């Protein structure tokens, strides 16, 4: 069974780059460009890992993680952002997620892979 990864980012280019990297490593990858409705997808699909942009229109990624953390304890959440590292780490700690700087593709893939071991 392939491990499922959901990417949530309002930037289609960022999604495509990460999607290509993860599919190349054998993961089943789903993606969304909208925060609204993401909770429903996570509860229905039960991905192993959710890579979530923090700064999303209408609903920030850290808020989604906070709402779902207890409902899907088996899912690993990874917040990605261009925010300064200390602020990103604070948000991630507050909602129970890992944190990776957006644009650091190798680090994102490493965090996804290590969470699936």
Domain boundaries, the chain: 4-115
pTM: 0.94
CATH of 4-115, one of 3.40.50.2300, 3.40.640.10, 3.90.1010.10, 3.40.50.720: 3.40.50.2300
Q: Tell me the CA distances in angstroms from 41 to 47, 69, 75, one per residue in order.
A: 9, 14, 13
Q: Write out the chain's pLDDT in tens, 117 residues.
A: 689 999 999 999 999 999 999 999 999 999 999 999 999 999 999 999 999 999 998 889 999 999 999 999 999 999 999 899 999 999 999 999 999 998 889 999 999 999 887
Give the whole-angstrom CA distance, residue 72 versus residue 85.
Answer: 26
């Amino acid at each position: 069974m392939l491990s499922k990864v959901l990417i949530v980012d309002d930037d289609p280019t960022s999604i495509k780059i990460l999607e290509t990297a993860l599919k190349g490593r054998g993961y089943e990858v789903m993606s969304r460009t909208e925060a609204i409705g993401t909770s429903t997808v996570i509860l229905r699909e039960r991905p192993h890992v959710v890579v979530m942009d923090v700064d999303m229109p209408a609903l920030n990624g850290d808020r989604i993680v906070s709402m779902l953390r207890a409902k899907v304890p088996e899912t690993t959440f990874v917040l990605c952002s261009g925010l300064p590292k200390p602020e990103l780490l604070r948000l991630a700690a507050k909602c129970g997620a890992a944190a990776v700087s957006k644009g650091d593709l190798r680090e994102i893939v490493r965090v996804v892979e290590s969470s699936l071991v």
